[in-house]
Amino acid sequence: MNTQIGSPALNIGIFGLFVVVTLLIVYRVSKASNTASDYYAAGSSFTGPQNGIAISGDYLSAASFLGIAGAIAVNGYDGFLYSIGFLVAWLTALLLVAELLRNVGRFTMGDVLSFRMRQRPIRAAAAVSTLLVSFFYLLAQMAGAGGLISLLLGVKNTPGTPFDGQSLVIAVVGILMVIYVLYGGMRGTTWVQIIKAALLVVGAAVMTVWVLGLYGFNLSGLLGSAVENTGKQLLDAGNQYGKTLTTKIDFLSLAIALVLGTAGLPHILMRFYTVPTAKEARRSVQWAIWIIGIFYLFTLVIGYGAAALLPRGTLTSANVNDAAPLLAFQIGGTLLLGIIAAIAFATILAVVAGLTITAAASFAHDIYANVIKDGNPEPGMEVKVARRTALVVGIVAIVGGILANGQNIAFLVALAFAVAASANLPTLLYSLFWKKFNTTGALFSIYGGLAICILLIVFSPVVSGGPTSIFGESVDFAIFPLQNPGIVSIPLSFLLGVIGTYVGSREPVNEAKFAEMEVRSMTGAGASGAVDH
């Protein structure tokens, strides 16, 4: 749906207010971002509740706010399964990685993986995985901004024209993202996340109460109206994933990738280093689970509210992400739409800022400081390299977002989660819990999982052979039937870790280092604050 609704001036005005306030905050905290500890981990100065709110801000992307509400409006029960998968994933993060990572690492995932293994190859592999996951996630966010802008600002994308109004707005989002990261570091980015999370939850809560109020706070009445208005059995399972055996397996594959991928997302893992203790890391995840869980309950009402209140036929598979903004305009007119529009823009901006600082930290800390400089960079140079990397990442994200604008971005998010679950999580778990695990096993798991994911995605229906594929139905080289490769790539990555460990079994196992890692990860004994370069 390309018809602009509401007042573009109001939408831009409210979003502009958010930008001004957050830029002032970034300016205020930027003076405290000169050391590596400050720039990467905000000096580990945030409390568990503060970091939990920031984590929820990092995690609740545009896909969570716009995509899930739209999926529920169109597919009902099957759409809500996304919410369940995203939420359950946090139990994995809480039980398996949050406290352990905070105790063992300092800034990045590479710190944990290289604790008892050869530094250079492991850090290089961890950085490659981090950069790829961050890049695909960035592309999805930047490209997703195009459709939102088309609806809210009346700026349309002209086919065959790479530089148009939407491209300009994507560039503006990218520039703002770079400014946040360049000057504010993790401290500034965290405050942006906190503000954005608060706005997102409050905005969703207002819409939820408003919609329920229209039905006398009777949820059954709302659900019945949604079914009656759409003519679809939105309360039944199977609207999207129950039609064939392939779609059922596809959902299982997606669920596995979501549940296991969250615990391996680099920009989420990095947030655990912004708190001073493992106890605060646990509190962070507990706060995040509550906030994210409550938010997903709001999306249930927003999704069914869109199905019940929007005229039949308004939402299609082509404009499914417009459900929340269209509902806001339907119930609250131009003002509520302007607020929801600003929140949606803020959501995109905050998430891409978090991804950018993660990519910059991984390159500067793992590649520059520990691979190129062998752990001895010149004083102050690591932060300078991180800032330069943030600038490069911003440029790449802007160009990639412009080129991907209008394309099917679902595969980008799926690839990010699948890579995180395949390449990152197996190596993290093996490193923490398996004494015999070695450098060869880690390299097999990271690079093997990465290669399998990309190959399966390339040869899947999300790229070719289908009406929603990138190349459309006219080009068909899809030989892998599933939309998401998780059900295949994740077990294979775990298996490759075992195979690689036995292939490299001649490597001496540093039992003392493993014992130190085990004690530190479980008890926190010996764990200290971040060490500056």
SS (H, E, C) 212-256: HHHCCCCHHHHHHHHHHHHCCCCCCCCCCCCCCHHHHHHHHHHHH
pLDDT recorded at residue 214: 93
pLDDT recorded at residue 1: 42
CA distance 191 to 350: 10
Quick one: tokens of 372?
A: 């190129």
CA distance 258 to 252: 10
CA distance 217 to 106: 48
Quick one: tokens of 279?
A: 């106890």
pLDDT recorded at residue 305: 94
pLDDT recorded at residue 407: 57
Angle at 128 between CA 126 and CA 130, to 5 degrees: 65
Mean pLDDT by 10 residues, the chain (533 residues): 65 81 81 72 85 88 78 86 82 78 79 86 92 84 70 61 68 81 83 89 94 93 91 81 82 87 84 83 87 92 93 78 87 87 80 85 88 82 88 86 64 75 90 90 94 90 76 82 90 95 84 83 62 40
Question: What do you get for the CA distance between the two ends of the chain, in Å?
Answer: 51
Cβ atoms 430, 445 nearer than 8 A: yes
Angle at 282 between CA 277 and CA 285, to 5 degrees: 130
Q: Which helix (H) or strand (E) holds 98?
A: helix 98-104
Quick one: tokens of 283?
A: 């509190």
Please classify residue 158 by burial: count the beta carbons closer than 10 Å to its beta carbon, then call 0-12 exposed, 13-18 middle and 19+ buried. exposed
CA distance 176 to 152: 19
pLDDT recorded at residue 147: 64
User: Cβ contacts of residue 364 below 8 Å, gap of 6+?
Assistant: 382, 383, 385, 386, 389
pLDDT recorded at residue 490: 94
SS (H, E, C) 99-166: HHHHHHCCCCHHHHHCCCCCHHHHHHHHHHHHHHHHHHHHHHHHHHHHHHHHHHHCCCCCCCCCCCHH
CA distance 459 to 436: 35
Quick one: tokens of 51?
A: 């970091």
CA-based nearest residue to 145, from 397, 461, 333, 355:
397
Cβ neighbours of 532 (radius 10 Å): 17
